[in-house]
Amino acid sequence: MQRSYTGGSAPFLTMMKDYFEIGKIVNTVGIGGEIKVFPTTDDVRRFDLLDEICILINGEMRIKKLIKRRYHKNLVMLKLEGVEDVDSAEKLRGGVIVVDRSDALPLDDNEYYISDLIGTAVETDDGRLLGLIKDVLVTGANDVYIVKREGAKDLLIPAISKCILNVDIEKKHMLVHLLEGLES
């Protein structure tokens, strides 16, 4: 199975090629300045590897030292240096937490960062150029590549070994075999 990793939306990743989104600040917690983060990374425990976080908010990058982290259900609660009360935490709401590409988690074979797949040319094994990958749907079973085609509606290709024959990230090229019924 092919697997893509991100942590965020394609428009953000296209804008910030050297950064990967790993979470979104969705709320505050209590009155002590803690923030509530919805993780957009495949491995929520990756927050354990961070000593500081980068927050992109209102077009500005802010770096904050991470004092404490805890996990509750599907969320991460973070306490940051210099964020001492609910008012200062509220100013971070809506911010996106990013990591530099050099700090991204390593990938296994047949795994790709979504930002590297965006804009990849998709060609069939019979030589037809289908279009470019515009986004990736991350599902429970397998990812699905959304291919933007000229003059036709987008094509959805499951990221499974029967369909994805080869991916060359450097050349931005993907070779696929379309199973019957995928192209309509």
- The confidence score (pLDDT) of residue 16 equals 52
Both tokens of residue 1?
A: 């199975």
Between the alpha carbon of residue 67 and those of residues 34, 79, 80, 84, 183, the distances in Å are: 10, 5, 5, 11, 51
In the block, tokens 């991470």 appear at 66
Cβ contacts of residue 112 below 8 Å, gap of 6+? Answer: 2, 3, 4, 5, 167, 169
What H or E segment, with its residue span, contains residue 138?
none
Q: How far is residue 167's CA from residue 19's CA, in Å, rounded to a whole number?
A: 22
Phi/psi at 83 (5° precision): -110, 90
> Measuring CA to CA, how many Å separate 21 from each of 40, 42, 84, 154, 157?
7, 11, 25, 25, 24
Residues 70-117 have pLDDT tens digits of 999 989 999 999 999 999 999 999 999 998 888 788 888 888 888 889
Domains of the chain: 3-103 (2.40.30.60), 119-176 (2.30.30.240)
pLDDT at residue 5, as a whole number: 42
Average pLDDT, the chain: 86
- Residue 125's alpha-carbon distances to 47, 102, 121, 130, in angstroms, are 41, 34, 13, 11
Predicted pLDDT at 24: 95
pTM above 0.75, yes or no: no
